[in-house]
Structure 1
Amino acid sequence: MRRIGRQASAQQGGFTLVEIMASIVVLAIVGLALSAYFINALDNAKGNQNKTVMVNLARNTLFYIQKQADFKKIREQIDKLEDGQNFVLNSEGCSDTAHCSAYETYVSDPDSLTSILNPVINDIHYRVEISYQESLYATLQSDVQSGGKISDYLIPVRVEIEELTPDEEGNLVVSDQKREKTEVEGYIADEKIR
């Protein structure tokens, strides 16, 4: 009986060292490929989250300008523009420490405009710029609605959001990555049609 037991155990062989090492190498390669996939997916998720924040900031800015802007004063300023000039509201001269005195004629609350044009979300600094879209205005002028031009009541604008990143000296500069910029188009409407 002992003989049968010894023969059975001798026939039950285990894995050789070479087989174990080969399986470890295969598992390491598969694990490395999966970790690269998950790192890439995490990077994409972070980029999409940042893009969503920028779109929401742009919509918030558009809503703010819609409610706070003096339509007549902005229209007067735009009508004074010469060819090649553009009406722009941005954070130049309107930092997070100084209020936006340059825009007092266009918005009723320039102090809150400072936080709109220089938002900081999740410790990320953004720059907001609102610019007039002359090309869209030309198409509005040709559209006639109930005897009047809709262009008399709407100012087409584009809100651009850019992420600011610190450079070597610690100054905030515009990021050069494509995902770090977002544009939203909209209109500043006259109170008469709201």
Structure 2
Amino acid sequence: MMQTMKDDQGKQKENGFTLLEVVLSITLLTIITVSMFGFFQQAYLFNQLNQSKTVAVSLGHNALVYLEKQDTLYSALLEHEDIRISPTLLELDEMNCKKYGLNPSVFLPIVNNVVYHMTAEIQLHQDPKLQDYLLPVRLTVHWQVKEATYETTVEGYIYNNQPTM
């Protein structure tokens, strides 16, 4: 609200903002607002990446549980793969899923329009007493968002439901 005052010569003088002060204020406010947009964009991208990583970890856990529930997988892996010599990297694609009688949709899911695929590193247990019971598995989930490729790893075991005594 402007106030009218009289100066020393008796002329009326109005107190208020000059045009220059208003323009500078608007310019400063615009600069601050534009810099905040960059912050929100970075936060949004970070949130998207964390969301896709959370989905990948969840899919990896689901795949490990699925692998653990397969009654004949342990013996089939020992027959078909050379895991007794070195760790074996198994691409869990449709061909290998068919080979081991696995459901490919567990290992090749599409969530939120993002395609995930998995590889499993399988090896014999380091403890010779446990080699007939457990196969350590490192399941790596891969996905791509825009042009960047990401991966996360989940570890677990495949249990031998029919151990040899």
Q: Place the TM-score, normalised by the shorter chain, in its bin.
A: 0.7 to 0.9
Q: CA deviation at 1:159?
A: 0.8
Whole-angstrom CA distance in 2 between matches of 1:82 and 1:133: 7
2:61 corresponds to which residue?
Answer: 59
**Which residue identity does 1:7 align to in structure 2?**
K
Shift of 1:7: 2.9
Partner Cα separation in structure 2 for residue 153 and residue 84 of structure 1:
18
Mapped to 2, the partners of 1:11 and 1:88 lie a distance apart of 85
Query: Aligned residue for 2:39?
Result: 37
Letter in 1 for 2:158: I
TM-score (norm 2): 0.80
Secondary structure of the 1:159 match is strand
- After superposition, residues 1-194 of structure 1 pair within 5 angstroms as 7=6, 10-70=12-72, 71-78=74-81, 80-81=82-83, 83=85, 86-91=88-93, 93=95, 100-104=97-101, 110=102, 113-133=103-123, 137-138=125-126, 140-141=127-128, 149-164=129-144, 176-177=148-149, 180-191=150-161
User: CA, structure 1 residues 133+103, in 2 after alignment: closer, same or farther (shift >3 Å)?
Assistant: same
Question: Where do 5+ consecutive residues of structure 1 fail to align?
Answer: 95-99, 105-109, 142-148, 167-174
CA distance in 2, matches of 1:37, 1:187: 42
> 3-state DSSP class of the match of 1:40?
helix
CA distance in 1: counterparts of 2:134 and 2:35, whole angstroms: 53
CA contact (8 A) 1:133 1:158 kept: no
The one-letter code matched in structure 1 to 2:100 is Y
More helix by proportion, 1 or 2?
Answer: 1
Q: Secondary structure at the match of 2:29?
A: helix
Q: Which runs of 5+ in 2 are unaligned?
A: none
Superposition TM-score, scaled by structure 1 size: 0.69
By how many angstroms is 1:34 displaced? 1.1
RMSD over aligned CA atoms reads 2.7
Identity of aligned residues (%): 29
The 1-side partners of 2:94 and 2:159 are apart by 25
1:85 Cα deviation from its structure 2 partner = 6.5
Task: Please give the alpha-carbon distance, in whole angstroms, between the structure 2 residues aligned to 1:187 and 1:89.
Answer: 17
Distance in 2 of aligned mates of 1:117 and 1:182: 14
